[in-house]
């Protein structure tokens, strides 16, 4: 990812799909002709590492992404009820690291539920990840869907936030 000058900071939106095993991230720039793809990827701590080590790795890698991109907004997947309590707690720990990194980097932290992001892009809150990736591809005019799916989910969060902010209903405060 290339560094972004201060003058463009507010136009940069970074979506983050949090976790403790894989963290997806995807960045777009808001432009008059529509969102522009800047890049995406994943952060993968060492498999089997203790949770504290994984969270530290995520923090260091995400800090580097934030320093390079200097986004004005970081959109994080909102917490949701999970069938496995231990898994929900781990995702919460990952979310905490992401939110903390965003604010420390001077970005505004926003949250969107997975269903809201899917509905904004696909029109259906229970859409499959591959459907979301396909719509991200079309919206950003990419040659192929972004991979892995954690990265396309992160781009979907950024796009959903951008669409929400530009819709007539959002401007009216509805």
- Give catalytic residues, as residue numbers: 17, 77, 150
- DSSP, collapsed to helix, strand or coil, labels residue 48 as coil
- The residues, any chain, with a CB within 8 Å of residue 139's CB and separated by 6 or more, are 34, 35, 121, 159
Residue closest to 24 by CA, chosen among 81, 88, 87, 91: 91
Give the C-alpha separation, 48 to 34, whole Å. Answer: 41
Nearest-10 Cα torsion for 164, 156, 97, 65: -110
H-run or E-run covering 40: strand 36-43
């Amino acid at each position: 990812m290339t560094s972004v000058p201060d003058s463009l900071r507010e136009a940069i939106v970074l979506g983050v799909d949090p976790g403790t095993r894989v963290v997806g991230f995807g960045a777009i720039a808001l432009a008059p002709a529509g969102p522009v793809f800047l890049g995406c990827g994943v952060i993968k701590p060492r498999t089997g590492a203790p949770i504290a080590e994984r969270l530290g790795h995520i923090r260091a890698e995400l800090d580097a992404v934030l320093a390079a991109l200097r986004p004005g907004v970081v959109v994080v997947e909102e917490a949701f009820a999970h069938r496995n309590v231990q898994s929900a707690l781990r995702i919460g720990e990952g979310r905490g690291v992401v939110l903390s990194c965003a604010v420390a980097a001077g970005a505004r932290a926003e949250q969107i539920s997975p269903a809201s992001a899917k509905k904004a892009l696909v029109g259906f809150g229970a859409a499959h990840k591959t459907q979301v990736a396909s719509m991200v591809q079309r919206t950003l005019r990419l040659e192929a869907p972004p991979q892995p799916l954690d990265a396309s989910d992160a781009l979907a969060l950024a796009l959903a936030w951008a669409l929400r902010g530009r819709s007539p209903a959002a401007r009216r405060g509805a």
